Structure 1
Amino acid sequence: MAQEWSLDEVLIGLHEAEGVGWKTIKRIMAGGGLAEALDRRERDWREFGLNVRQRENLVRRLRPESMEAAWRKRSRAGVFAVTRRDPRYPFLLKQSPDQPPWVLYCIGRPELLTDRPAVAFVGTRLATAYGLRVAEDLAAACAERGLAVVSGMAKGIDGAAHRGAVNRAGGTIAVLASPADAPYPAENRALYRKISETGLIVSEMPLGTQLARGHFVLRNRIIAGLSLGTVVVEAGDSSGALITAKCTIDANRELFVVPGPITSPRSSGALDLLRQGAKAVMRIDDILLEFQHVLPPEILREGSREAPPGRLRKPDPAGANLTPDEARLYDLLLERPLSIDELSARSGLTFGLLHSVLLSLQIKRRIHQQPGSVYTVL
């Protein structure tokens, strides 16, 4: 019976077992326990440090009838699951330092996960008319060029960004704090249906999970992890958008802020990000300029609603088809792994350019960032 289920389904089972967390699954994966998981009895899980209740939950979830019931539930809801083992799993999200989800539950177009670069838009739920207009217009401009627009489908700035992008070439990805088949908030149900038809709905929450406050923080790290950079449009001092901004910085991605009135409490948090070094955005070129070493030419050129979807450049043979700056860094890393400080000293590149070139090499799957900002060739 164990052989009837793929290793991806086993990983989904581990993810859905109550009380089994991210780090426990990592230990199981590292210990080679995935292939034999279906054949393990309760006592066989002791080596992974699980208590009795966790072991019982795990054995129960991995029973054949439970595996089939979960699969049928997803199928009835029109949900497909993408695990960390799946080639459809987004490359940038996998590189995130914030415990990338083991499983993504999705509704819609799976190609949006991998076929085009993405930019996130976040901001306050209590947006001003100015903020709503800017978010919608700027997101529309990004999507017309072929960039996917990622946001959290909350009311306010999130909804405006989705509405601006949903009918454009790049499309939009809505990352939910609730399960993929349970739209939240209720007032965005029509938008949810439109995105599920033309874009992509994503959640790491198993179907049937009750919405909890902490899920919004978990969602925010996915929004940042899927994207080359994040645009903050209006955020107060306690806005959840600031959590996404922090995740963006932690992942070494670009952070952009749309300037707002200095007298507005709804812009105070965003303005503070500008003081800390975020890049000001007033038009789409302010975003594209930061990614000129990464984006394909058709996105960098001014496009239209019918513009072809922008695809990340395919990996080439080692050392081939690299820009001079990329080749310089790649040659240095062929000698040995180097920290970002060592690369800065040896390459002579400015820090801003160095960051862009390193990100480009990662997207092209030439190099990998290790803990401590140490880079090595793949």
Structure 2
Amino acid sequence: MSKPTALIRNNLVALHETEGIGWLTIQRIFNAAAMEDAQARREADWRDLGLTPKQIAALMKNLQPDVADSRMTRYERSGIKVLTILDRKYPRRLRQIARAPWVIYYVGRLELAARPSVGIVGTRLATSYGRRVAEDLSAACSAQGLTIVSGLARGIDTAAHVGALNKAGGTVAVLATPVNICYPAENKHLYREIGEKGLLISETPPGTSLHPGLFPLRNRIIAGLSLGVVVVEAAEGSGALITAEDATKANRDIFVVPGPITSPRSRGGMLLLRQGAKPVLDEEDILEEYRKHLTKSNDIQFDPKNILHAGDPLLHLTPDETSIYNILLDQPRSIEELAAESGMTFGLLHSVLLSLLIKRRIHQQPGSVYNVL
């Protein structure tokens, strides 16, 4: 990694870990090309970017080199590794979603995040039927090479991890807590096993207190890492349905294990079936969709230098990014015009535009109008 890239990476981690600074603020700083020289910026510069005095004070402290060095030393001693959206190994599918995490923390086998994966989610108050189905489906799919992604919650999530843990595909646990904290505590043994044999991953910085708002953020990562999401026993309004909604926004497949129409735990899944989700009677209903992914390499090479240095404007762009870039070559366009001309969903379009902004191929003007650089 070149020095400018390393500097921007470290500054990105500092921003992500600064209390009160969220995803949109970081995007605004990126758009203003303020990441590389962040340490040299003064209070007035940050005020001009819309930061409050409290945010500025916390950020300037976090950007200090000794604070950054101490942070990384602490993580290394704890076995925690840090990955940013600028890094080559950042999961490709996760990069594609709207509001992809700027920074993720992990313990274990990162290669599992690049493998063909399916999410299996459902209620914490699972029936014995639901737990058995989740574990059996997970084991059968993982035995064929699909990695199973879930959220380490009690109930369906736990059964899904248990089924996949010792199979070929393995399992990824996406945590709402920091990656060094197990929640719920009853899953401590499973948490340790996944850390040793699978992958623990979280967007939440170490030292952050758990609060309810972290769970929906976790759910979008489960959806983002997965080719599709399988819902097993989910009541209306459950977190599993939030994950399914995130998966739909990210153009992922939705599967549902049917349950009794008289059971409140089946109500959410049955509504998804009404909306067009694919019913799952056995693992073949899932595997038939993804066998093609199991026969080709998933090791996508990504050069972080290409985020920061344009070179050939079309070099290292995805087909979607190339399509948007070519539209903007003609003249600046608003996001509504880009959606109409490209035919992309707004979720995918936001993801593509963010990637082009980070790669310094385009610029965002006031009013969500974009032009090429």
Partners of 2:90 and 2:5 in 1: CA distance: 23
Alignment match, 2:271: 272
Alignment match, 2:357: none
CA deviations over 1:174-229 (Å, ceiling 9, x no partner): 00010000010000000000000000000101101000011111100110011100
Q: What stretches of structure 1 of length at least 5 have no aligned partner?
A: 298-309, 316-328, 345-357, 359-367
Alignment match, 1:304: none
CA deviations over 1:54-95 (Å, ceiling 9, x no partner): 111110111122112211221121100110001111111111
Contact 1:88 1:113 in 2 (8 A): no
Contact 2:4 2:36 in 1 (8 A): no
Partners of 2:44 and 2:181 in 1: CA distance: 36
Alignment match, 2:21: 20
The percentage of counterpart residues that share the same residue type is 50
For residue 236 of structure 1, what is the amino acid of its counterpart? A
**Which runs of structure 2 are paired with 1:199-214 in the superposition (5 Å)?**
199-214=198-213
Alignment match, 2:224: 225
Contact 2:233 2:257 in 1 (8 A): yes
Over 3 Å counting, the alpha-carbon distance change for 1:61 and 1:266 in structure 2 is: same
Over 3 Å counting, the alpha-carbon distance change for 1:145 and 1:68 in structure 2 is: same
Partners of 1:195 and 1:177 in 2: CA distance: 15
**Which runs of structure 2 are paired with 1:228-377 in the superposition (5 Å)?**
228-292=227-291, 294-297=292-295, 311-312=297-298, 369-371=348-350
Partners of 2:195 and 2:341 in 1: CA distance: 45
Over 3 Å counting, the alpha-carbon distance change for 1:288 and 1:340 in structure 2 is: farther
**Which runs of structure 2 are paired with 1:108-119 in the superposition (5 Å)?**
108-114=108-114, 116-119=115-118
For residue 267 of structure 2, what is the amino acid of its counterpart? S
Partners of 2:65 and 2:58 in 1: CA distance: 14
Contact 1:19 1:54 in 2 (8 A): yes
**Which runs of structure 2 are paired with 1:168-179 in the superposition (5 Å)?**
168-179=167-178
CA deviations over 1:269-301 (Å, ceiling 9, x no partner): 111111111000112221122335x5133xxxx
For residue 296 of structure 1, what is the amino acid of its counterpart? L
TM-score of the superposed pair, with normalisation by structure 2: 0.80
Contact 1:296 1:313 in 2 (8 A): no
Contact 2:97 2:351 in 1 (8 A): no
Alignment match, 1:78: 79
Q: Which runs of 4+ in 1 moved over 6 A?
A: 336-344
Q: CA deviation at 1:4?
A: 11
CA deviations over 1:15-68 (Å, ceiling 9, x no partner): 001111111111111221111112222222122111111111110111122112
- Aligned residue for 2:67, secondary structure, equals helix
Alpha-carbon RMSD: 3.1
Contact 1:339 1:373 in 2 (8 A): no
Contact 2:92 2:300 in 1 (8 A): no
Alignment match, 2:31: 30
- Aligned residue for 2:125, secondary structure, equals coil
For residue 273 of structure 2, what is the amino acid of its counterpart? L
Alignment match, 2:106: 106
Q: How many residues align?
A: 324
Partners of 2:139 and 2:49 in 1: CA distance: 48
Partners of 2:134 and 2:58 in 1: CA distance: 44
CA deviations over 1:213-251 (Å, ceiling 9, x no partner): 111111001100111000000001131101001101111
Over 3 Å counting, the alpha-carbon distance change for 1:371 and 1:43 in structure 2 is: closer
**Which runs of structure 2 are paired with 1:145-156 in the superposition (5 Å)?**
145-156=144-155
Over 3 Å counting, the alpha-carbon distance change for 1:88 and 1:372 in structure 2 is: closer
Alignment match, 1:7: 8
Partners of 1:111 and 1:226 in 2: CA distance: 12
Alignment match, 1:137: 136
Q: CA deviation at 1:313?
A: 7.3
- Aligned residue for 1:220, secondary structure, equals helix
Over 3 Å counting, the alpha-carbon distance change for 1:25 and 1:373 in structure 2 is: closer
For residue 180 of structure 1, what is the amino acid of its counterpart? V
For residue 102 of structure 1, what is the amino acid of its counterpart? W
Over 3 Å counting, the alpha-carbon distance change for 1:339 and 1:273 in structure 2 is: farther
- Aligned residue for 2:245, secondary structure, equals helix
CA deviations over 1:310-363 (Å, ceiling 9, x no partner): 743768xxxxxxxxxxxxx99xx79x769999999xxxxxxxxxxxxx9xxxxx
Contact 1:13 1:61 in 2 (8 A): yes
Partners of 2:204 and 2:121 in 1: CA distance: 20
Alignment match, 1:348: none
- Aligned residue for 1:20, secondary structure, equals coil
Partners of 1:8 and 1:186 in 2: CA distance: 33
Alignment match, 2:45: 44
Alignment match, 1:325: none
Contact 2:140 2:283 in 1 (8 A): yes
Partners of 2:252 and 2:278 in 1: CA distance: 12
TM-score of the superposed pair, with normalisation by structure 1: 0.79
- Aligned residue for 2:293, secondary structure, equals coil
Contact 1:340 1:373 in 2 (8 A): no
Q: CA deviation at 1:372?
A: 11
Partners of 1:372 and 1:153 in 2: CA distance: 27
Partners of 2:5 and 2:238 in 1: CA distance: 46
